Structure 1
Amino acid sequence: MARSIRSEVVDPNDVQISHVISRTTRACWLFGDDPISGKNYDYRKVWIEEYLKRFAAGFGIDLLSYVILSNHFHLMLRSRPDVVATWDDTEVARRWLLICPERKDAEGNPMTPSQSELDRIRQSPEKLAEIRVRLSNISWWMRLLNQQIAQRANKEDETTGHFFEQRFKAIPLVDEEAVLACSVYVDLNLIRACIAETVELSDHSSGQLRVEVVQAAQQAPHGDSKASADGATQAADPQARRGDAFLSPVNLHEGTAPAGPQPSKTNARCSDKGFLAMSEEEYLELLDWSARHLAPGKRGSTPEGHPPILERLGLSPTLWLSLVADFGSLFSTIAGRPERLDAQRTKQTGRRFYVPKQARDLFGQAA
């Protein structure tokens, strides 16, 4: 089946969540122990996390979940043109120069933009308008991310050519079930691959970061601002922020959160808007529950019953575990319940999306 044109499913002018996957060329393990070269490139996973933090602080895009493996990585990204619309011209120029700096310090970090650098963007209406669109465009996030990783790795290896396998893959997530299942799928990737036994041991993943922060909050004295529930620290020292401050909060806080785009109160991420109708603790409990069922032979007893969130979504435990285990093969172009996908149309031609028979059968059995 021919791959879809990305503009048919991804529109930077819409608030949209996508599951993004990028693989190294020829599936070489260029982020881990590469059996071909005999070299270990685990440290490059740290590179990617550094770039993710910088991009989350600069782009008008929320980073919801991520995991980095030895030959590919998964991201869940939410484009936020509504947040970009709240930024003035100076903020747009500043953020772009944070992502694509004209000057760097001795360690390669972006230097504070000068007034002349800002003016070159602010005083050019066409350029300014173009950059506004780029800042909420997932394709530009991935283009620059992969470009910077590839250039750095090729320079280190003293080689040239493709580092990543063709283009990245982006799959829109159209409903709450797809968003939740995809996030769990991403955070459990290392467990599914038999690389880690638990979420807290899943290095270079959003799941591990969220566990560490929750554990730190439970151990911190009551009222410690560094472990505030919404992830937006009030501490003056930027280094005192939560370890997951660049990630989107989990909880949408439906009914209590303010209306509108909710631009972030910190410089670590685009917005303070969550993406799931559950608390961070509930999400981590669901991760652990799912991991125990997906990892045969794992020590510990399975909790009786099933998590309340599954009841609220109308998902049986069997359907849920199949969704998480087979998410990548069930949804190759767009993800969601089949009846909701049937109502969707491509952005350019207005055609219906193809829904694999396996996905229709799975949801049909659960009906």
Structure 2
Amino acid sequence: MPKARKSQISLLDTPYYHCISRCVRRAFLCGDENGKSFEHRRRWVEDRIHILSEVFAIDICAYAVMSNHTHVVLHVAKDKADALTTEEVIQRWHRLYKGTLLTRSYTSSKLRSGLNETQIKTVEATAEVWRKRLFDISWFMRALNEYIARAANKEDDCTGHFWEGRFKSQALLDESALAACMAYVDLNPVRAKIAKTPETSDYTSIKYRINAARVGKTPKRLMPFAGNPTQNMPKGLPFTLPEYLQLIDTTGRYIHPNKRGKVEHLHPTLLERLNIEHEQWLTLTSQFESCFKHAAGKVIHLEKYAFNQQQQWVQGRLNAKRLLG
């Protein structure tokens, strides 16, 4: 029986999560069918992810828009949501939803002066509900998938489900799991042989990062790199950009027997620091979803996660020990 989504998201254990959504209809999210191209839908998804990154207190670490599914690696920034004023919360929420008559009045300096104390308290209470939603992964995925489903159904002139009923979620419990999952997501088009190199992988975070790096910029809508891993994850991805790009380039050059595509063989610095063997890393970055279920990380972190989630057994222990040491 599937676990409730709220029980899979545990900010006590980690703020990092890998989410996957898959199409339920025979018609693909993108690609071509019956002589009609749906490739423009990839742009819909990428643009929507970028918009949501500015609304939610959730950072985008990585993403890839594939033919019939999407990947996003998310970082929940609860402290960002807590620091927002009532007006800032309402303004963010209004970018996606209409809100209420009272909240719309509150954002107008002219109309706000006409609200009485009870109405203002109602607005503040509503804003607190929205504040919690702004760092809720389920609401983020809902705002992403519902928008795309409506647009696709309108284009296809049909009704019904476009996505599977629930998105899949994996908790990333440490730096090794985070690095492996990000590489797995960023290299998805290369492994599927729909792109020859990471920099030509359309609608992926790695191409977005590389394009920004080429002109000396940091992508505004992606979580920045903070530097070397520490025991407690810093605010920002625990690697440097050059290290991560080298990691992606090197990993993409390894061929996996169960995957069609690859990019040549070098020795990445980050692999040495994370103490993961090449063969183990290759398995992680090409089969991440099948290696772990609800959570990914070293055994000690999986055990802590299982304890916090009141699980009777530690799922993924053998793969964690074999692949992450």
CA deviation map 1:76-113 (0-9, x unaligned): 0111111111111111111111122469xxxxxxxxx6
Q: Distance in 2 between matches of 1:20 and 1:90?
A: 30
TM-score (norm 2): 0.85
Instruction: Give the deviation of 1:260 after TM superposition.
Output: 12
Within 5 A, what are the aligned runs for 1:120-131?
123-131=122-130
Instruction: Give the deviation of 1:350 after TM superposition.
Output: 5.0
Aligned to 2:237: 275
AA at the equivalent of 2:296: A
Q: Would the alpha carbon gap of residues 158 and 11 (structure 1) be closer, same or farther in structure 2, given more than 3 Å must change?
A: same
AA at the equivalent of 2:322: L
Aligned to 1:342: 303
Count of matched residue positions in the alignment of Structure 1 and Structure 2: 311
**Runs of at least 5 residues in structure 1 that lack an aligned partner in the other structure:** 104-112, 218-226, 232-243, 262-272
Q: Distance in 1 between matches of 2:12 and 2:290?
A: 28
**Runs of at least 5 residues in structure 2 that lack an aligned partner in the other structure:** 101-106
Within 5 A, what are the aligned runs for 1:1-367?
2-11=1-10, 16-26=15-25, 28-34=27-33, 37-101=34-98, 114-115=108-109, 123-217=122-216, 227=217, 231=218, 244-252=219-227, 273-276=235-238, 278-294=239-255, 301-303=264-266, 306-345=267-306, 349=310, 351-355=312-316, 357=318, 359-360=319-320, 362-363=322-323
CA deviation map 1:296-347 (0-9, x unaligned): 99898522xx222222212122221121121111012111123321222365
Instruction: Give the deviation of 1:170 after TM superposition.
Output: 0.9
Q: Distance in 2 between matches of 1:336 and 1:197?
A: 29
**Matched residue of 1:99: which SS?**
coil
Kept after mapping to 2: 8 A contact 1:25/1:162? yes
Kept after mapping to 1: 8 A contact 2:252/2:263? no
Instruction: Give the deviation of 1:176 after TM superposition.
Output: 0.5
Identity %: 34
TM-score (norm 1): 0.76
Q: Distance in 2 between matches of 1:51 and 1:130?
A: 23
CA deviation map 1:261-310 (0-9, x unaligned): 9xxxxxxxxxxx4212x22121111100000113799898522xx22222
**Matched residue of 1:124: which SS?**
helix
Q: Distance in 2 between matches of 1:84 and 1:251?
A: 20
AA at the equivalent of 2:129: E
Q: Would the alpha carbon gap of residues 196 and 295 (structure 1) be closer, same or farther in structure 2, given more than 3 Å must change?
A: farther
AA at the equivalent of 1:96: W
Q: Would the alpha carbon gap of residues 195 and 154 (structure 1) be closer, same or farther in structure 2, given more than 3 Å must change?
A: same
Q: Distance in 1 between matches of 2:32 and 2:178?
A: 31
AA at the equivalent of 2:186: D
**Matched residue of 1:153: which SS?**
helix
Instruction: Give the deviation of 1:348 after TM superposition.
Output: 5.7
Q: Would the alpha carbon gap of residues 247 and 207 (structure 1) be closer, same or farther in structure 2, given more than 3 Å must change?
A: same
Q: Which has the higher helix share?
A: 2
Q: Distance in 2 between matches of 1:254 and 1:301?
A: 27
Q: Distance in 1 between matches of 2:83 and 2:16?
A: 20
Q: Would the alpha carbon gap of residues 284 and 260 (structure 1) be closer, same or farther in structure 2, given more than 3 Å must change?
A: closer
Q: Which runs of 4+ in 1 moved over 6 A?
A: 119-122, 295-300
**Matched residue of 1:214: which SS?**
helix
**Matched residue of 1:85: which SS?**
helix
